[in-house]
Structure 1
Amino acid sequence: MISTGTSDATGTNLQQPSGDPTGRLTLLHTSDWHIGRTLYGRKRYAEFEAFLDWLAQTIEQEGIDVLLVAGDIFDTTTPSNRAQTLYYRFLCRVAAANCRHVVVIGGNHDSPSFLNAPRDLLKALDVHVTGSATENRADEVLALCGKDGTAELIVCAVPYLRDRDIRTAEAGESIEDKERKLIDGIRAHYAEVTALAEQKRKALGRDIPIVAMGHLFTAGGQTIEGDGVRELYVGSLAHVTASIFPDWLDYLALGHLHVPQRVNRSETMRYSGSPLPMGFGEARQNKSVCRVTLDAGQGDGRTTVRLIPVPVFQRLERIDGDWEAISTALSRLVSTQSQAWIEVVYDGVEVIGDLRARLDAAVAGSSLEILRVKNNRLSAQVLGQLQEEETLDDLNVQDVFERCLDAHEVPPSQRAELLGAYLETVASLDQEDPGET
């Protein structure tokens, strides 16, 4: 990385860039690393380190010019020292390679103040960080320069937009009023930032590509049970539609949803998905990052996207069925010397009270680890009680609150209002940044 970071129209050389003579740029889009995440008590730092090593190698091998990281770098707003080490070590490695720029935006799991703290230092390495929405929207418009100092790409680096960034609260608002204001606020924010990007391109006097980034939930987006993806705002209707993004964008790099997918069937509007499975529900999911090629020419062929599969660094297996099916599957894994982490879901007819003991005996002496056991048959027999192996990992915050309502025999007529107030409180806690003073 040798070029300067952002430039304005008055300070940018208007000559043609002297990088790729064809005017071609290669981007890599990834998101939702969730460094520091655990799985039923098991730490996963070895997986995160292996992924970041692979990603750095892929950037070098694929000749990537710009890396886009669309939020949720860390799993919590207070990442551990080990998680921070992995992050900064990776950035230093990429900075020393041929990749010219890295653009990082904050996600809902990230602390904006933590991400922004080393921003000026990282900028010297051509690592551009936008941890939170800025008061001056122009700060979210980055003109990235090539080796000769001429602008070659404009990036609308829009981070996760917190409620307070896009909506003014008023007394007596209904949930519907809040949702409408949230959607309008997100739409207005993107309209302003993308308009500034188009103005910058006109000022530069060249038809350089414009890409946008975001960390949000689009309408119709696909999720998987247990992937940890949370609603970002109060209510479930605050999902934006593809219509809020200008159709002239060359590419839209989104984060938040863990399933790799297109937005509204568009090839150039995508979620890269999480590179590691966040739970056993994603065990059989193919993970990938997006390699995006931008050509200097105009028209439909300007942008091409190719998915690069991410290797499996720690195999996860979900085994379900009756005892015979489970026993057979475990025997097969033992015979292949698998080192998988396993979730067992027993739903046979026979009531097995010693299921855990049988499972431990089946994998004894192997490298298999059974992290979770769900005995559906036993659970059905013990009505009104939590199953023995159920933990808080199996429940989300709404499940816990609803169990509390059940325990206190709250009548149905009062539940909707109480649940709405509770979810609003939880959402406001998610919006807080522990790094702010």
Structure 2
Amino acid sequence: MKILHTSDWHLGQHFMGKSRRDEHKAFIDWLLALVDEASIDAVIIAGDVFDTGAPPSYAREMYHQLVLDMKARQCQLVIVAGNHDSVSMLNESKSLLTYLDTQVSSQANLEDIDAHVIPLNNKEGDVAAWVCAVPYLRPKDVMQSVAGQSEQDKKMSLLQMIGDFYQQVYDAACEKNKRLKAPVPIIGTGHLTAVGGQVSESVRDLYVGTLEALPTNVFPAFDYLALGHIHRAQPISKSGRFRYSGSPIPLSFDELGRDKSLVIFDTDLIGEDTFVDDLFAELKDPVQLVSIPNFQPMASLKGNLKEVIKQISALELPQDKNLWLEVTVIADDYLSDVHKRLLEVIDGKPIELLRVMRRSGLEKKNQDFEARKTLSELTVEDVFQQSLKSNLELDEEESKVLTELFQTCLVELEEYQQEGEEKQS
């Protein structure tokens, strides 16, 4: 059977004041056409279906219409929650959606591990794969705090608990496999940061407790692992079968320049790489990447003011849509009329100037942190790290401890806000 893996749709997102509604609608229409064309049997969305815990009504309508469209195509749908998704909101229609061949895994359930093992059926109605549907794991869902634990002890304890949870779900799938006439592939899911994943500006730093990233050896021997959270499509294993699908549309300007894609995993091709009848036959990879069209023209330009103006003149402009533009002006002197001059340059052109940033030309080329001139352009982490650097009395160890405490506070604040959004919804 063919399983399509996608993630991080962020339905309802507003990008610098611009709605992504039309882009998401175009993407879903394209996706449904792909399901028909490629004869997809099941679709897995690995978290962050929505951008907030209380998405706008049109985003919910898109979500429910997707379920109906998949049911009409006899295509099974598996949705796991991400850190942006509201557990209570997903649970509202969870039971009803099961009658429409859509399974939703919104929260880790230690009391019912079997609930995380979802069968995928082929056209004949037989089980052709198992999905270990593991959503975003909140620390409170998988472990209890122990008084007196050091930060390192908490990290190791949480890592152990996450690994144990994955193993329990995988073992449950293996047990179900034994009851079949022949074993079928086992697919895993996850919404987290794994070691080796390259993040982008739009990815909210996701710390599972105080763990910055999970090592790949935490995961059992899945035949395929469908990951979400990182918006750049990429594998995290040599075989390419543990991978992030990436977001279907650019969610920040620094995601430009890389093709957006989704993954089609063909379970019928598993094992062809271990036993081949014809030694001269070309091996078919069970993992196929499918490029997603660009539904909204965007561009990011960088240089001094004269260079940027020249680059704007050379842009290929769309005929039917406005191009969203980000500009970084490199100059040592403060130019008070930069924004005004840029607006004059784009006047009459199908261009919307969404962001203008300034950067000093004296910065070191290899400097990781790009200095922003306004507080609104800084992340919370940027401000904290800059504060640490400016405090000369702190040594390296003290800075490390403060960073870990800060990350813990961010996690607790995010959970508190999430609970507030869930109560409101």
TM range (shorter): 0.7 to 0.9
| TM-fit CA distance, 1:233 | 2.6
**Taking structure 1 as the reference length, what is the TM-score of the superposition?**
0.84
Q: Deviations over 1:311-350 (max 9, x none)?
A: 1111221100122221111112276657321110111456
Tell me which of 238, 244, 250 is aligned to 1:271.
Answer: 244
Aligned to 2:31: 55
Contact 1:351 / 1:377 at 8 angstroms: preserved in 2? no
Equivalent AA in structure 2 for residue 40 of structure 1: M
Aligned to 1:10: none
Moved more, 130-139 or 163-172: 163-172
Aligned to 2:279: none
Aligned to 1:342: 325
Aligned to 2:280: none
Aligned to 1:244: 218
Partner SS, residue 190 of structure 2: strand
Contact 2:269 / 2:286 at 8 angstroms: preserved in 1? no
Partner SS, residue 258 of structure 2: coil
Aligned to 1:313: 295
Matched ranges for 1:49-128 at <5 A? 49-99=25-75, 101-128=76-103
Aligned to 2:206: 231
Distance in structure 1 (CA, Å) of the matches to 2:185 and 2:86: 30
Contact 2:232 / 2:247 at 8 angstroms: preserved in 1? yes
Distance in structure 1 (CA, Å) of the matches to 2:316 and 2:219: 50
Tell me which of 250, 256, 259 is aligned to 1:286.
Answer: 259
Q: Does 1:397 align with 2:384?
A: no
How many pairs does the alignment contain? 401
Aligned to 2:137: 161
**Taking structure 2 as the reference length, what is the TM-score of the superposition?**
0.87
Contact 2:139 / 2:209 at 8 angstroms: preserved in 1? no
| TM-fit CA distance, 1:286 | 0.8
Contact 1:257 / 1:273 at 8 angstroms: preserved in 2? yes
Q: Does 1:421 align with 2:405?
A: yes
| TM-fit CA distance, 1:280 | 0.6
**Residues 199/36 of structure 1: CA separation in 2 closer, same or farther (3 Å cut):** same
Aligned to 1:21: none
**Residues 335/397 of structure 1: CA separation in 2 closer, same or farther (3 Å cut):** closer
Q: Deviations over 1:279-312 (max 9, x none)?
A: 1101112100001111176453696111110111
Aligned to 1:16: none
Aligned to 1:360: 343
Equivalent AA in structure 1 for residue 108 of structure 2: A
Distance in structure 2 (CA, Å) of the matches to 1:349 and 1:417: 35
**Residues 303/332 of structure 1: CA separation in 2 closer, same or farther (3 Å cut):** closer
| TM-fit CA distance, 1:418 | 5.0
| TM-fit CA distance, 1:404 | 7.3
Aligned to 2:165: 189
Identity across the alignment (%): 33
Distance in structure 2 (CA, Å) of the matches to 1:171 and 1:143: 40
| TM-fit CA distance, 1:411 | 5.6
Q: Deviations over 1:71-112 (max 9, x none)?
A: 01111111111211111112211211142x100000111111
Aligned to 2:268: 295
Which 4+ stretches in 1 moved above 6 angstroms?
403-407
Contact 2:317 / 2:350 at 8 angstroms: preserved in 1? no
**Residues 416/232 of structure 1: CA separation in 2 closer, same or farther (3 Å cut):** closer
Distance in structure 1 (CA, Å) of the matches to 2:208 and 2:312: 42
| TM-fit CA distance, 1:196 | 0.7
| TM-fit CA distance, 1:425 | 2.2
Contact 1:294 / 1:303 at 8 angstroms: preserved in 2? no
Tell me which of 347, 352, 355 is aligned to 1:372.
Answer: 355
Distance in structure 1 (CA, Å) of the matches to 2:85 and 2:186: 25
Moved more, 170-179 or 273-282: 170-179
CA RMSD of aligned residues (A): 2.6
| TM-fit CA distance, 1:230 | 1.5
Distance in structure 2 (CA, Å) of the matches to 1:359 and 1:334: 17
**Residues 228/275 of structure 1: CA separation in 2 closer, same or farther (3 Å cut):** same
Contact 2:332 / 2:361 at 8 angstroms: preserved in 1? no
Equivalent AA in structure 2 for residue 292 of structure 1: F
Aligned to 1:435: 422
**Residues 362/110 of structure 1: CA separation in 2 closer, same or farther (3 Å cut):** same
Contact 1:95 / 1:126 at 8 angstroms: preserved in 2? yes
| TM-fit CA distance, 1:57 | 1.4
Q: Does 1:221 align with 2:197?
A: yes
